[in-house]
Structure 1
Amino acid sequence: MANSPQAKKRARQNERRFAINKARRSRIRTFLRKVEEAIASGDKAASQAALRAAESELMRGVSRGVVHKNTAARKVSRLSARVKALA
């Protein structure tokens, strides 16, 4: 347990950041799920639109430090290949 005032403050800050990052990760996963559902339905236009939205959301997560750059690039690459294969 935190004893010094500084450690107590860091614990409070960590809790707050954890909640914010958790919400961001959840939002990213929601966008990725929408792309998956659009691909499963076979709707190319909807899946392209969902991919564009998911890509920007992922890259926002990268800039905020929630997701690693290479992880986001890998996910975008794999999803875009699957969307492209719908043609």
Structure 2
Amino acid sequence: MHLAGDVGVQFECVCSQTHPGQTLWVVGSVPALGSWSLHAALQLETGPDTFPRWKSRDGVRVPRNQDVEFKFVIMSQNRDYVVWEQI
């Protein structure tokens, strides 16, 4: 369901610092981005033909008139290794 006050966004990032078994995620201040919870973050995808470009599979809906903060995070498959984007 799309709410009138929402807007669709797609995330795309160039990140070559990942290693096999690691993926890139987006976590942020709104529920669609996990409300800063790594367990609810949005996973990005890449592949042999697109690496190091990572992107969200589908767009996500975020509030149109609200500031949205987010960071990219590298995590291992079992999430025991985390590297936060530096500002």
With normalisation by structure 2, the TM-score equals 0.28
Query: Whose strand proportion is higher, 1 or 2?
Result: 2
Structure with bigger RCO (C-alpha 8 Å, 6+ apart):
2
With normalisation by structure 1, the TM-score equals 0.28
Query: Whose helix proportion is higher, 1 or 2?
Result: 1
